[in-house]
Amino acid sequence: MQKESSKRSAGYSGDADLKGLASRIGYQFRDMELLRTAVTHSSFANENKGSGVCNERLEFLGDSVLGFVTAEYLFQHFPDLPEGDLTKTRAALVCEKALCGFSSGLGVGDCLRLSHGEHNSGGRTRPSILADAFEAIIAAIYLDGGMEEAKKFILRVLAPNLKNARVKPFKDYKTALQEIIQQNPEERLEYVLTGESGPDHNKHFTVEVHLNTNVIGKGGGRSKKEAEQQAAREALELMGY
């Protein structure tokens, strides 16, 4: 019993955990190894050589599947929404905060395979890790059962948000700033990474947003995307928006 507890504290996820997760997902995997990979963080794979690959490639694929399914749903169900509003709505539905919530609701955090360091530093509740695992799970379903099964899962999980998609406000500072700047075609907007610090499990990025050669905003966050959003937010505030 103590041995099992020790494994768990080191980020171990046993077959019972995976079967429980599969049950909550609502999909019966033919190849459970795909689900195991989906909950394997890079820190675990690096710390346990020979334990299998991490979920980064699945995350890449799942992000694309999620984006397509969400875009298709919005396109079909909201024919009067212009392209810009469709883009903002999709971004709100699949942002890190939303995906983290979906992942938490499925109990993914309890099943993650993490390194000792990642586990001890709160990796099971870290939004970026949970969001990435959710996308990896989508890819695992897609590879195991095809697009229709992945689509069923995505729409079932997103259903409550999809119903109110049109009325949910979304603060996409980058898009808002771009729309303002592009009114003057000669102006050039650029996001520049100026700093990166911290260990792999707790990175911090700093970004500047440049208008031509002038710095008009600075921001920081746990991901480059978050830092860029914060830099754009500061720029909008300085511009009086």
Task: Render the burial of 155-173: b for 16+ CB within 10 Å, e for the rest.
Answer: eebbeebbeebeeeeeebb
Supply the DSSP string of 132-147, one letter for each residue: HHHHHHHHHHHHHH-H
Asked if 113 and 40 count as a contact pair (C-beta separation under 8 A), the reply is yes
Tally DSSP H helices, then E strands, for the chain: 12, 3
Nearest to 241 by CA among 182, 169, 177, 172: 177
Catalytic residue among 59, 118, 135, 144: 135
Asked if 58 and 65 count as a contact pair (C-beta separation under 8 A), the reply is no
Asked if 98 and 15 count as a contact pair (C-beta separation under 8 A), the reply is no
Catalytic residue among 17, 63, 208, 234: 63
As a whole number of angstroms, the distance between CA 13 and CA 39 comes to 8
Query: What is the rounded end-to-end Cα distance, in angstroms, of the chain?
Result: 59
Catalytic residue flag (residue 135)? yes
Residue owning tokens 């830099």:
231
Residues annotated catalytic, as ranges: 63, 135
